[in-house]
């Protein structure tokens, strides 16, 4: 029995027994609909003298293939995410800045001037070669509006990419923090491994570096939170309990980052634990309402 259909052949049919690289490549890139008795077929095809020799070659090929794939994936995944979320932030910030400039400029000639990205989009969509904007600047204003609208579109596409990608890089962190905040934390730390190695007190203030340095120089209170401020559990908690909420969120996010880095397994129980902590913290507000007063946090 020989096989001629390369789409359903064993890995060894594409591999040169004396070239480990070609073997590893065949393991990584090959496929077949159904398994077959590969050891016997490989011996039959003369790839190996006997099954022992076949298994030795298979061991070498799978090890090399898997090592290469792991290295590639690890490097690719979180680096890609870091760049994507930074590019997203840059696009958003730049689009907003330019939109402001556009509205200022547009206001000098456009009786219907609006504000922000919405105005840029609306202006870019108007018919007629900027004919309805008087003056020499009309064409330039419209052209600028188009750039701003494009930039805003790009930011949205990048956000979608980040939302899709983060759960595969860091499934637990993405579930607990939401994919965009998770990506931002990874980016601020410089990578998932770096984030996993940070103490939760550092995670709590990531993104608040300016405030932290001001505090260290002695002329500001210590920041209670960095970018995790945007997490619902922090933002949605009354101000006097926000420090506790930020600490609880940072604690759980640190654990999630460690699980993602060291095991990669999704642990839904983390979600429930965080929810419980936040409920307990928020329950203080009810207690205080009843008793009035109450000690502030920190």
Partner 1 sequence: MTDALPDGVERRRFDGAERLATRGEPVYGEPTDREWRAWNPDRSKLGAMLELGMDVGLAGGDEETVLYLGAASGTTVSHVADFAGPTYAVEFAARPTRDLLSAAESRPRLFPLLADARKPETYAHVVEADVDAVVQDVATRGQARVALENRRFLADDGRLLLAVKARSEDVTRDPEDVFADVREELAEGYEILEQERLEPHHADHLGIVARPLEG
Ligand X SMILES: C[S@@+](CC[C@H](N)C(=O)[O-])C[C@H]1O[C@@H](n2cnc3c(N)ncnc32)[C@H](O)[C@@H]1O
**In the complex, least distance from residue 248 CB atom to partner 1, rounded to whole angstroms:** 20
When CB distances are held under 5 to 8 angstroms depending on the partner's kind, the choice from ligand X, partner 1, none that residue 164 binds is: none
Residues 63-92 that bind ligand X (CB under 6 A): none
Complex with partner 1: residue 215 or 266, whichever CB lies closer: 266
Q: What is the 3-state secondary structure (H, E, C) of the chain?
A: CCCCCHHHCCHHHHCCCCCHHHHHHHHHHCCCCCCCCHHHHHHHCCCCCCHHHHHHHHHHHHHHHHHHHHHHHHHHHHHHHHHHHHHHHHHHHHHHHHHHHHHHHHHCCCCCCCCHHHHHHHHHHCCCCCCCCCCCCHHHHHHHHHHHHHHHHHHHHHHHHHHHHHHHHCHHHHHHHCHHHHHHHHHHHCCHHHHHCCCHHHHHHCCCHHHHHHHHCCCCCCCCCCHHHHCHHHHCCCHHHHHHHHHHHHHHHHHHHHHHHHCCCCCCHHHHHHHHHHHHHHHHHHHHHHHCCCCCCC
Complex with ligand X: residue 265 or 269, whichever CB lies closer: 265
Complex with partner 1: residue 91 or 186, whichever CB lies closer: 186
Sorted by sequence, the CB contacts under 8 Å of residue 234 that are 6+ apart come out as: 225, 228, 242, 245, 246, 249
**In the complex, least distance from residue 5 CB atom to partner 1, rounded to whole angstroms:** 12
Contact set with partner 1 (CB under 8 A)? 8-11, 26-27, 30-39, 55-56, 58-59, 62-63, 65-67, 69-70, 73-74, 77, 260-266, 268-269, 271-272
Say whether residue 107 binds ligand X (CB under 6 A): no
When CB distances are held under 5 to 8 angstroms depending on the partner's kind, the choice from partner 1, ligand X, none that residue 66 binds is: partner 1
**In the complex, least distance from residue 140 CB atom to partner 1, rounded to whole angstroms:** 49
> By Cβ distance, which residue is nearest to ligand X?
265
Complex with ligand X: residue 5 or 265, whichever CB lies closer: 265
* Contacts with ligand X, 213-252, as mask; x by CB under 6 A: ----------------------------------------
**In the complex, least distance from residue 81 CB atom to partner 1, rounded to whole angstroms:** 13
Using N-to-C axis directions, what is the helix angle for 242-262 and 179-189, rounded to 10°?
A: 80
Residues 245-284 that bind ligand X (CB under 6 A): 264-265
Say whether residue 295 binds ligand X (CB under 6 A): no
With CB under 6 A as the rule, give the number of residues binding ligand X. 2
**In the complex, least distance from residue 263 CB atom to ligand X, rounded to whole angstroms:** 6
**In the complex, least distance from residue 185 CB atom to partner 1, rounded to whole angstroms:** 17
Token look-up 């359903």 returns 8
Q: Pull the structure tokens for residue 238.
A: 């009354």
Complex with ligand X: residue 265 or 286, whichever CB lies closer: 265
- How far is 173 from 185, CA to CA, in rounded Å? 9
When CB distances are held under 5 to 8 angstroms depending on the partner's kind, the choice from partner 1, ligand X, none that residue 27 binds is: partner 1
Question: Which residues in this chain contact ligand X in the complex, by CB under 6 A?
Answer: 264-265
């Amino acid at each position: 029995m020989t096989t001629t259909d390369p789409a359903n052949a064993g890995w060894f049919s594409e591999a040169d027994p004396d070239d480990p690289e070609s073997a590893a490549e065949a393991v990584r890139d090959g496929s077949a609909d159904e398994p077959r008795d590969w050891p016997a077929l490989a011996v039959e095809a003369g790839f190996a003298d006997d099954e022992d020799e076949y298994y030795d070659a298979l061991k070498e090929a799978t090890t090399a293939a898997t090592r290469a794939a792991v290295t590639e994936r690890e490097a690719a995944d979180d680096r890609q995410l870091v760049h994507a979320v930074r590019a997203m932030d840059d696009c958003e910030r730049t689009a907003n800045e330019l939109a402001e400039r556009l509205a200022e400029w547009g206001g000098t000639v456009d009786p219907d001037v609006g504000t922000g990205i919405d105005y840029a989009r609306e202006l870019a969509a108007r018919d007629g070669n900027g004919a309805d904007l008087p003056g020499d600047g009309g064409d330039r204003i419209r052209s600028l509006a188009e750039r701003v609208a494009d930039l805003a579109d790009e930011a949205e596409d990048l956000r979608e990419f980040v939302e899709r990608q983060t759960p595969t890089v860091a499934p637990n962190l993405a579930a607990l923090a939401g994919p965009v905040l998770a990506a931002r934390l990874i980016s601020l730390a410089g990578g998932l491994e770096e984030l996993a190695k940070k103490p939760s007190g550092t995670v709590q203030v990531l993104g608040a570096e300016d405030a932290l340095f001001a505090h260290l120089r002695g002329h500001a209170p210590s920041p209670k939170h960095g970018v995790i401020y945007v997490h619902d559990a922090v933002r949605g908690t009354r101000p006097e309990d926000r420090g506790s909420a930020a600490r609880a969120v940072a604690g759980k996010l640190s654990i999630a980052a460690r699980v993602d880095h060291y095991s990669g397994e999704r642990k839904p129980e983390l979600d429930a634990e965080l929810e419980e902590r936040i409920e307990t913290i928020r329950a203080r507000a009810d207690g205080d309402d009843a008793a009035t007063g109450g000690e502030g946090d920190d």
